[in-house]
Structure formats: C-alpha cells, structure tokens
Chains A and B, each alone.
Chain A
Amino acid sequence: MRDFISGRAQEIPPSGIRKFFDLVLTMQDVISLGVGEPDFSTPWNICESSIYSIEQGSTSYTSNKGLQSLREALSRYLDQHYCLKYDSEDEIIITSGVSEALDISIRAITDPGDEILIAQPSYVSYAPCVTLAGGIPVPVECTEKDRFKLNSDTLAEKITRKSKALMINFPNNPTGAVMREEDLKPIADLVIDNDLLLISDEVYAELTYEGRHVATATIQDLRERTITLNGFSKAYAMTGWRVGFLCAPKPLCEAALKIHQYVMLCAPAMGQVAALEAIRSAEEEKNRMVDEYRLRRNMFIAGLNRIGLPCHTPDGAFYAFPSVKETGLSDTEFAERLLKEQRVAVVPGSVFGAGGKDHLRCAYAVSRKQLTDALGRIEKFMADL
C-alpha cells in the first residue's frame, strides 16, 4: 500500500508535549497552569440569549460572512473601542474561532514558496498553518531583553525578496508582551518599505492591563495591508463557542471569504447569537474578569520573582513567562519534573518556538487559591533541586 499521508501533513511536527499532556490526565490533584482559557464560565446573559435562540428554532446556517446584526454591532464596537473602521458588509467575516480566521488568512495570501515571517514565541498553530498552505514559516525571535516585543532590527535581518507577510500576536500568547504605538511604528515602516502584508492576531486585546490596546491597523498606512484577527473566547470566557472574526480591506476579505465558504460555510449560528449578546451587554462582566486577571497577575508575578523564577510583568493576556535559566534545567526538564514531583503543570516555553527556550508558560487564569498553592509547590520544588 502506498503512503497516503501528504508530504505537507508529514512535514508538520506533532505536538511536542503530547506525552506530557497525556500524563497530566492520569494524575490526581494536579494544579494546571497549562490551560490557555479563562476559568470563568461564559456570563449567563450570553448563554441565555443563545439558549433562547435555539428554542426559537434559529438553528440553520447563517450567511457565509456571519449574521448581519453581529457584523454591524462588531463594526461599531471596533470603531468605539479601537478606532478601527471596518465596513460591516465588505470587510468583516465571522469565523469559527480565531484559529479558523488565522488559517483562511494565511491560505488567502500564501503561494508555494512564499516566506511568512512569524514573531516568536507564538501560538503553536502559526507555523504549521503556513506549512499546510505551502508557505515557508520564518521565525523572528522576540527576546527577553526586549521584554518579548518584536524588535525591528531582528525583523529586518529576516526579510528577503520572498517575504510575503508578517504574523504578530500582541498581547502575546505565551509571553504576555504588549506592543505600544511607539513599538509598532518601526515595524510598520519595515512592513511598508518591503511591501509586506501584516496578519495581526489581537485575540487578547481586551486583556491589556496598563493603558489601552493599540490596534495594529490604526497605525498610519497599515490598514490597507493588515488583516486584523480577533474573537470572543478570551475576553468573554467563550472558548467553547468558537466565534472569532477577521477584518480586512475588501479584496483581502473577499479572498478569505471564498475559502471560508468552502471549508466552514459559516460560524456556529448559536455562537454568533451569543457573540452578539456579548457585545451588547457583557461589558461589565468582561471588565470584572479583566480586573480579576490583573490582581492575579500582580500577585503571581511577585510570587514567581520572590521564589527565584525571574519574570517580567506581562502587560497583557493571562500568561506569566518566567525564566528557568538560573535553575540549570531546560524548560522541558523543569516542566516534566515539576509535574512529577509537585503536580503542577506548566507548558515549556520552547513549544512556542526557539524564542521561548528556557522559559515556562504559566497561565494565571485559575483561582487565587490555586495560584497560591501552585507557588508553594513550585517553591518546594526549587528548594529540592
């Protein structure tokens, strides 16, 4: 029998810590800081409006682009909150989570051999999605020295004639780094000078703790060459609903829509109804959750630094990214032994690209009590090293 698996599918690496993950499932009493999702349940008014829509029989396909009412509400929301101006008719697609938005964006712009620059550490799907689209992922490292912001000199070194686009994610998973306007400007210059496209995943935008989130597409002259991705999962504790969105100028949006309509048809109807309710009346609930994350961040970062895991204070998202360099263990060794010896699960930073080496991703989207207990266990682990 032939080997039926495509070269591309063979080329993408399996998740490096799959075994590790399976181990966690067999263990009792594990405090997991490995989950990239809120520990809150979706606010009830959001759930209730979706349940009601199902009771009313709204269980069919929606338009490919998504419910018109949702796109209109979103268009107003983006303008009011981020000064982003996208037309609800031609420039917004509702997708099945940001993951789908990411995939169709990449496929809409990538030809075989195109180099796609990826600011790393990054979410694990970026590079595989590029590979599957026939492109070549080119990591651009963000380092601790720059507080994990994207440095324009590092980026400039990686740009070649084949470079087609740059993918960034700020506030960042896994580092929590945030790019301010002054950080984005030199990047914008490079993007424009080298005629690149920018894919900006801003799913953690609402989780910005100091100052306001700066939407990449609001930087001068970037809008026409930017695809903005965002979603409801993180800010509204809606991971399981699978609703995200893609915003881009009409020609880019049309190309992405073609792919979306063939592979996804539309985002889940009940999820879209939930998202609409989230925009309309979950602002206060969202702020309450963001305030709580801020408190947890303050306490957890102080704790990590106190017990000897140096960690910069992340300005956004809900991840701490401490360094394990001083312990003499690699990030993978540290994570494996910490799990086995003290039953605390964290994600080794190298999973997110070479830039994440010697670091751990610890999600602080768990209760304060669990964070305190986890700190105690990590401290004990360090003492026994």
Chain B
Amino acid sequence: MDEKDLEILHILEENGRISPEEIANLITLPAKDVAGRICALEEARIIRKYTAVINWEKAGNGQVSAIIELKVSPERDFGYDRIAERLSRFNQVKSVRLITGTYDLQVLVTGKDMQEVSRFVSEHVAPMDRIRETATHIIMKPYKENGNILFEQPEAERLPYSF
C-alpha cells in the first residue's frame, strides 16, 4: 500500500464504475499500472466488491427496513462474537454492529413488507439463545445512506465569470 493505492481506493469508493484509464488520468500513472494495482487490491480483499447506491423508494420497489436493537448476554470466551456472526449469516440482515448504550447489538433488517420483517424478527432473531430483549424500529424514510444524500437538492447558481 502506498499513496497511489490510497488515491485509487478513494476514487473507487466514490465511483466504482470509473475505468482504469480515467483513474490513470487523474493520478498521473499509466493505465496498465492502475489496472494492476486494482487487481492486487482486489486479491488482497481490500476492495471487497463494487455496488450501486439505489434509491429503492424512487425505483418503486419499496422494501421495508428496520433497525433492531438487541440486549444480549455475552458468552464466556466469545463475548458477543458468536451471536453477532450467527446473525450476520442471514441474508435479511444488512448490517450488524456492537454498540454502547442501553442495547448491545444493532441490526439492520430488510424485507419486502412489514409482515416479512416482523416474522423474521419474531421467528429467527428474538428466540435466539442469549437474546434478552429486542426493540424494533421500522425505518419510515431514508434521507441519507452511506454518505449519499437521497433527496433532491437544488443546484446552486454560479456566475459564469469571475476574476
């Protein structure tokens, strides 16, 4: 990892579809080198994968998401790891985080409707061993996801000239 690798990662994080040629232009390296570096970063699993940020609400394919907070009794030798890993394996679970505060784990779950989410929580999550308490918060409207603002913003007007 050197400075050029870091630059490549920052550029890709912002736009996963940018071509190695374009990146080469931005950081003054030959395109071949950029492609090679990206391969190496993929092989080292530093680049995990390339995805799209989608406003599903606008796409008319509304999903229901919920944040589930869990109180968990930690296990001797393993702490929260085993239960967190077990939760992470579900496809319906989009993120799992150990947090401070009243609850221990925060889990983001999605489903095609409210029933699906509630069935998943009541059948798979709540009855799990060591989970003492759950609090489910249905997400009503997302405004920003992963650093991406989802609402339309007016474009500021600039004068076409200044000195």
The chain A residues found within 8 Å of chain B, CB to CB, are 15, 21, 24-25, 30, 32, 34-37, 39, 41, 123-125, 173, 239, 291, 295-296, 298-299, 302-303, 345, 347, 351-352, 368
Across-interface contacts of B25 in A (CB, < 8 A): 298-299, 302-303
The reply to whether A124 and B163 form a contact with Cβ atoms under 8 Å apart is yes
* With contact pairs A124-B163, A303-B25 given, residues A295 and B158 touching in the complex (Cβ less than 8 Å): no
Query: In the complex, A295→B7 CA distance in Å?
Result: 9
Query: In the complex, A225→B27 CA distance in Å?
Result: 40
The reply to whether B160 and A299 form a contact with Cβ atoms under 8 Å apart is no
The chain B residues found within 8 Å of chain A, CB to CB, are 7, 10-11, 22, 25-28, 156, 158-163
Query: In the complex, A352→B10 CA distance in Å?
Result: 36
B22, B28, B161, B163: the one within 8 Å of A24 (CB): B161
The reply to whether A36 and B163 form a contact with Cβ atoms under 8 Å apart is yes
Given A15-B163, A303-B25, 18 extra CB contacts under 8 A: A24-B161, A32-B160, A35-B158, A35-B161, A36-B162, A39-B158, A41-B156, A291-B10, A296-B26, A298-B26, A298-B27, A299-B22, A302-B25, A302-B28, A345-B160, A345-B161, A351-B163, A352-B163
Across-interface contacts of B161 in A (CB, < 8 A): 21, 24, 32, 34-35, 345, 347
Query: In the complex, A102→B31 CA distance in Å?
Result: 45
B158 CB to nearest A CB, Å: 6
A16 CB to nearest B CB, Å: 11
Task: Find the B residue at minimum CB distance from A174.
Answer: B163
* With contact pairs A291-B10, A295-B11 given, residues A35 and B27 touching in the complex (Cβ less than 8 Å): no
* With contact pairs A298-B25, A298-B28 given, residues A30 and B163 touching in the complex (Cβ less than 8 Å): no
Across-interface contacts of A37 in B (CB, < 8 A): 158, 162
Provide 19 A-B residue pairs closer than 8 Å at the C-beta atoms, listed in order of the A residue.
Answer: A15-B163, A21-B160, A30-B160, A32-B158, A34-B160, A34-B161, A34-B162, A35-B161, A36-B162, A39-B158, A41-B156, A124-B163, A239-B162, A291-B10, A298-B26, A298-B28, A303-B25, A351-B163, A352-B163
Across-interface contacts of B28 in A (CB, < 8 A): 298, 302
Task: Find the B residue at minimum CB distance from A372.
Answer: B22
Query: In the complex, A183→B160 CA distance in Å?
Result: 34
